[in-house]
Amino acid sequence: MDRISLRSRLFDFQPNSTLSYYFNKYARNALLQVLRQGLTKGTLVIEDEQGQYVFGETLEKNHSKAIHLKVRNEVMWGQVLLGHDLGFAEAYMQSHCDISDLKGLLNLWLDNRDGLSALSSTFSSVFQQVSHVINSTLFSQNLTMAKWSAEVSYDVSNDFMKAFLSKDMMYSAALWSDAEHGPRGDLTYGPTEGDLEAAQQRKIQHFLNKARLRKGDRLLEIGSGWGSMAIAAGRMGCQVDSITLSKEQKVYADKRIAAAGLSDTVRIHLCDYRELPRSFEHQFDACISCEMIEAVGHKNYGAYFKAIDWALKRDRGTVVISSTTQPESRYTEYQPEDFARRYHWPNNFAPSPTSLLTAVQAAVPGGFVTYSVEDHGIHYCRTLREWNRRFQKNFEGDLIGYMQREYPFLKDPYRLEMFKRKWIYLFVYAEVGYARAYTSLHHFVFTRPVRVSVPQKRAKA
């Protein structure tokens, strides 16, 4: 039995199951012991039905600066023991615990990561002891994890995304400047109306500038989103062909393109990058791909870059790609399932900067040279904070009614809260990752090499 299915069955057991009771009791004792020994930075206060426990640095008795976690369902202990950070995320989503400061707790985990490494060895020991028991029929399931995962992981509609994205519907990191007081300006001055829109427009212009586009150029965009990049390029006088696999996004983008009067020059194609029309061969001056390559996966980098090479003109061409990245010290081609991959972007793969540069040369030797690499990770933090703020502000009221009509299972208050917490957790989880450089965001620019013709010496008569 794999780790996910084991964990899923365990914490979905009926609360009155005797074996479940004893396992969660064991998990509680094991985790409290790990926290006593491993949490040395910051302060965590845990409260459950048996009492209150303080871990880490000693503060004044009221623990006003501590992170408080209240256990509402003892199943949480088993989830965390077997699932580690993913198990905790699932416990939070299911309201098995409440947290005074989610961001603070995730930072606390990273601050004490080395000391809490005993959790992994504890898991290995427990796994051996209980795996054969979990396979038995001693536990009954009240809601399978598979069904629950499917319900809270459905693709959401365009109208839902409007609840937190900027008006241009850019689901990627904005680019903040001094006009918005920089990437941390909201923490000092607070959010200001229109800041996200301005920063997203700056990001779009940054891409177009890096692509060296001129009026009359032809642009290939891989990953249309809701059409904002393509529309901006069209307004510059470019011919744009943008590809997507999302029917809903294509319909939405086509309407926006028509409203902008650009239907003759900007086209959205429903196709994969590996199935580009034959008429695209060597027809493009530039290619832009904004935070799409994560869905490609390292095994398909060769096909991806060969497709771009095939589409760009032989004598000129610029490629602009942005991607979430892993630091070189943590990069591996095997990337285990985490919260983001399980509940938002299945099978996504984050390269390291070096691995992506290497993949380009391996796929198209000599076809491109690296012009620039920029780290924009810090800009994602504020973007995520703004998405989170807008999401929580707009979730109540009309959005709830819309979502319940779109997804009837959300009429259940428990599942509605689970859906809401899933998105809140994503925003905070990702913000902490970028802020701590656990992940980053890089912009890569590649160009065709300059071909210098060398006059041949005339043969002697």
CATH of the domain at 52: 3.30.1050
Work out whether strand 218-222 and strand 286-290 pair parallel, antiparallel, or are unpaired.
Answer: parallel
Residue 267 C-beta-side C-alpha neighbours within 13 Å: 11
pLDDT tops 60 at residue 140: no
Query: What is the spatial distance between Cα 261 and Cα 238, in angstroms, rounded to a whole number?
Result: 13
pLDDT tops 90 at residue 455: no
Query: Measuring CA to CA, how many Å separate 32 from each of 11, 144, 224?
Result: 18, 28, 48
State residue 4's pLDDT score: 40
Question: pLDDT band for position 396 (50/70/90)?
Answer: confident
Identify whether 372 is part of a domain.
yes
Query: Measuring CA to CA, how many Å separate 280 from each of 50, 284, 405?
Result: 67, 7, 42
CA 322, 326, 332, 337 dihedral sign is: negative
Q: Comparing 123-137, 322-336, 444-458, which segment has the lowest mean pLDDT? A: 123-137
Mean pLDDT rounded to a whole number for the chain: 87
Identify whether 67 is part of a domain.
yes
Query: What is the spatial distance between Cα 441 and Cα 353, in angstroms, rounded to a whole number?
Result: 9
pLDDT in tens, 86-96: 999 999 999 99
Given 104, 127, 147, which residue is the final one in a domain? 147
State residue 155's pLDDT score: 60
Residue type, 380: Y
Beta-bridged to residue 48, according to DSSP, are 51
Overall domain count for the chain: 2
Q: Is there a single domain that holds both residue 392 and residue 254? A: yes
The tokens describing 164, both together, are 């937190």
Of residues 107 and 334, more confidence is placed in 107
pLDDT tops 70 at residue 123: no
Query: What is the spatial distance between Cα 169 and Cα 175, in angstroms, rounded to a whole number?
Result: 15
Beta-bridged to residue 71, according to DSSP, are 97
Beta-bridged to residue 13, according to DSSP, are 141
pLDDT in tens, 182-198: 999 999 999 999 999 99
The tokens describing 330, both together, are 């943590």
Query: What is the spatial distance between Cα 77 and Cα 87, in angstroms, rounded to a whole number?
Result: 9
Q: Is there a single domain that holds both residue 86 and residue 172? A: no
State residue 460's pLDDT score: 55
State residue 146's pLDDT score: 38
Percent of the chain at pLDDT exceeding 70: 84
Q: Is there a single domain that holds both residue 270 and residue 338? A: yes
Identify whether 455 is part of a domain.
no
Q: Is there a single domain that holds both residue 130 and residue 10? A: yes
Identify whether 152 is part of a domain.
no
Q: Is there a single domain that holds both residue 96 and residue 132? A: yes
Identify whether 268 is part of a domain.
yes
Q: Is there a single domain that holds both residue 336 and residue 374? A: yes
Identify whether 133 is part of a domain.
yes
Q: Is there a single domain that holds both residue 137 and residue 168? A: no
Query: What's the domain range around 168?
Result: 159-447
Q: Is there a single domain that holds both residue 84 and residue 206? A: no
Q: Is there a single domain that holds both residue 20 and residue 67? A: yes
What does the pLDDT average to over 32-44? Answer: 94
Query: What is the spatial distance between Cα 80 and Cα 220, in angstroms, rounded to a whole number?
Result: 45
pLDDT tops 80 at residue 11: no
Question: pLDDT band for position 114 (50/70/90)?
Answer: confident
Q: Cα 416–420–426 angle (5° rounding)?
A: 145
Are 27 and 81 in contact by the 8 Å Cβ rule? The answer is: yes
Given 82, 114, 147, which residue is the final one in a domain? 147
Q: Which of 122, 87, 120, 85 is nearest to 105 (CA)?
A: 85
Identify whether 454 is part of a domain.
no
Q: Is there a single domain that holds both residue 274 and residue 138? A: no
CATH number at residue 299: 3.40.50.150
Identify whether 114 is part of a domain.
yes
Query: What is the spatial distance between Cα 415 and Cα 154, in angstroms, rounded to a whole number?
Result: 13
Given 147, 172, 205, which residue is the final one in a domain? 147
Q: Is there a single domain that holds both residue 203 and residue 93? A: no
Q: Is there a single domain that holds both residue 102 and residue 217? A: no
SS3 262: coil
Question: pLDDT band for position 7 (50/70/90)?
Answer: very low
Q: How buried is residue 91: exposed, middle or buried, by Cβ count under 10 Å (0-12/13-18/19+)?
A: buried
